[in-house]
Structure 1
Amino acid sequence: MFLSANKNLSEISCWRFSLQICIFLPTVTPKEPKSIAREKGQALPEMIIVFPLVVILIMSILQIALIYRGKATLNNATFLAARAGSLNHGYVSSMEKTFYDRMAALGQILPAMRNGSTTEGLYDKPGRVNLLATQVAMKATHTYDPIEVIWPTQAVFNRFAVRFNELESCSGSSCPFSRYGGKFRLAQESVYQIPIENMDARDQTMQDIDGVDVDLQDANLLGIRSRYCYDMEVPVANFIIWRTLQVSQGASQDWLACQALARLFGENRFMIPLTGRSVVRMQTDFRCENNETKGVDCENL
């Protein structure tokens, strides 16, 4: 009797007679088409080409996010600086102090000034002493003028400023109303200022100044422009962004000031100028800084 059985064990075929005889048949694998075989080696070169681009893209996104954080910090510092100016007769000195106080959050100071007393100490153990030291280091690092008053202009100030005698303390017979308990008198020297009090009783006629109609309400606005040299720190991305902006801003004064500062930070430092603007209404009379009595050659105009 002839029996046949096929088992799926490496294509083993067996025939049984009185003895078992097995023949091992080799498995035949069908060949792949040539086009598929050629495509198998493409993954590696594609990854080699794409991977650096993806890394650069991620680094650029990170750097742009940091620039946005810096711009948001600048906008906040600019507004608070304008607010400080409106409360202090539009003096640039008070605005710069407030500006550096807020920009200390970025901690971008000269490497030689980074120690336990300034940024390193401020980040480890925040305190008033370290904050003040960081603010001083910020001002010493960023030597350019960070605040520029763009409104009012000198022409607006000349047209609307009036002479004003402040009150000064006095005692005894030097006070004109001492018999009634008076302790103040008019100061001997008067100052020039754009008045802010009794606005409804003052002349509100529009005045033509350099081709622009301006009234007293407009003259009592304070507009400032701020600038800050931002140090980009993400490798590769900082150079790409810096080189791109250099094409359009390379000749500007802000750009040149930032490149001069970058050289003080060391080699391969890429700084770009960030600018901000803010407009607020004056809460005190606008005066000529450091020349109040004459109203000319003002530091804030």
Structure 2
Amino acid sequence: MSTEESPLPRGRESGQAAVEAALTMPMVIFLVLGTLQLFMMLQARIMAEYAAFEAVRAGSRNHGNCVPMQHAALAGLLPSVTPYLGAGNSGASPAEKLAEAWSARIGSNPRQPDPRYVPGRGMDRKHDGPIFWLVREQPLAYSVPDPEDIDFDAPSGDGQRAKRLEVRLIYWYRLRIPFADWVISRMLLAHLGLRDYDAVNPLIPADNEAGWTKSSVTVINLDSLIRDELTSRVASGQYVFPIQATYGMRMMTPLRKEFFDTQNCEPTPEGL
């Protein structure tokens, strides 16, 4: 009589492989999609820095006016906001496609820009908040002289603080990769100490509690208004990531009081 053990039935082996695949597949998928999403976020970071530079440059040449600053910022961010050169977009030429994407987001009245997502096809239906916030950190509105300072470019004298324009741009970058957007958003909320997530772990379905508890780490340069906006958007299914960029430049034109009724450029809330 043979003493060798009989092999396991093939049905049991295939069942074990199926269970192992079910347990590991979410993690593998997230590693692939998450890596792709992180590279796209790095690209968005570069675009945000460029948009902040363009906004400051436009403001320094136009007396600190928010309208050209917002136009310049949106122009810098638009390639990462929408793939407007795709074959599915109307317009015969790249210039026409750019014009269509621009008008849909900046509005028809250039004096009242509306840098917002407009509900459209697919995932864009959920993303209807501002694309970016533009904060004028310097000069402060109350320090802008009236009438304008004709000696604004003098090396010394009154209005020294008002001779440099400094902005902070908060780019509400939309996470575009399915599944990775949902997971990264909840990880981010837990990391920032905004919300716990203790439901089923999406990366390990066999784990009934993800255990993504609020972090006690203090996150630098994340204002309460940004935290509230982030929490609100993720709760409504708008998976975004706040990318911040700053830039400063010496004024090329004198500041005008008429452009500083508010400190920040609409729709950016005051107090940032």
Shorter-chain TM-score range: 0.5 to 0.7
1:22-47 Cα offsets, whole Å, 9 max, x none, are xxxxxx99948x9x99xxx6983555
- Return closer, same or farther for 1:234/1:66 CA change in 2, 3 Å cut-off: same
**1:90 equivalent among 37, 54, 64:** 64
Give yes or no for contact 2:135–2:263 (8 Å, CA) kept in 1: no
SS in 2 for 1:283: coil
Structure 1's 54 and 219: CA in aligned 2 closer, same or farther, altered over 3 A?
Answer: same
More RCO (CA 8 Å, sep 6+): 2
**Same amino acid, percent of matched pairs:** 20
Give the aligned residue type for 2:257: C
**Amino acid paired to 2:94:** P
Question: Which residue of 27, 37, 57 maps to 2:31?
Answer: 57
Shift of 1:238: 0.5
Give the structure 2 partner of residue 230 of structure 1.
173
What residue ranges of structure 2 are gaps of 5+ in the alignment?
A: 107-113, 118-128, 195-222, 266-272
1:196 corresponds to 2:152: yes
1:290–1:299 CA contact under 8 A, matched in 2? no
SS of the residue corresponding to residue 121 of structure 1 reads: coil
Q: Distance in 2 between matches of 1:272 and 1:222?
A: 26
Q: In the superposition, relative to structure 1, how do residues 137 and 51 fare at CA in structure 2: closer, same or farther (>3 Å)?
A: same
Alignment-derived partner of residue 99 in structure 2: 132
Cα distance in 2 between the residues matched to 1:258 and 1:195: 42
C-alpha separation in 2, matches of 1:50 and 1:275: 35
Q: Does 1:76 align with 2:50?
A: yes
- Superposition TM-score, scaled by structure 1 size: 0.56
Q: Identify if the C-alpha distance between structure 1 residues 125 and 255 changes in structure 2 by more than 3 Å, giving closer, same or farther.
A: farther
CA separation of 1:198/1:280 partners in 2, compared to 1, >3 Å: closer, same or farther? closer
| AA in 2 matched with 1:80 | E
Query: Residue type of the partner of 1:253?
Result: L
CA positional deviation for 1:233: 2.0
Amino acid in structure 2 at the alignment position of 1:203: G
* C-alpha separation in 2, matches of 1:229 and 1:79: 17
- Say how many residue pairs are matched: 211
Measure how far apart 1:240 and its partner are. 1.0
Which residue is equivalent to 1:253? 225
Residues 171 and 243, structure 2, Cα contact 8 Å, conserved in 1: yes
- For residues 149-298 of structure 1, the aligned pairs below 5 Å read 149-155=136-142, 157=143, 161=145, 191-193=147-149, 195-199=151-155, 202-203=156-157, 216=160, 218-247=161-190, 248=192, 250=194, 252-257=224-229, 268-290=237-259, 297-298=261-262
Distance 2:231 2:100 in 1: 25
Structure holding more strand per residue: 1
Q: Describe the shift of the 1:249–1:147 C-alpha distance in structure 2 as closer, same or farther (beyond 3 A).
A: farther
CA gap 1:282/1:231 in 2 versus in 1, 3 angstroms: same
Give the drift of 1:94.
1.1
Partner Cα distance (2:82, 2:253) in 1: 33
1:280 Cα deviation after fit: 1.2
Amino acid across the alignment from 1:102: G
Residues 194, 96 of structure 1: CA spacing in aligned structure 2 closer, same or farther, 3 A cutoff? Answer: farther
Q: Which residue pairs with 2:213 in the alignment? A: none
Instruction: State the Cα distance separating 1:224 from its structure 2 match.
Output: 0.4
CA deviation vs aligned residue, 1:145-199 (integer Å, no higher than 9, x gap): 73110111135x25xx3x5xxxxxxxxxxxxxxxxxxxxxxxxxxx233732343
Task: Give the secondary-structure state (helix, strand or coil) at the position aligned to 1:192.
Answer: coil
Q: Distance in 2 between matches of 1:258 and 1:243?
A: 11
Matches of 2:85 and 2:29, distance apart in 1: 33
Aligned residue for 2:135? 148
Q: Does 1:102 align with 2:89?
A: no
- CA shift, 1:270, in A, is 1.6
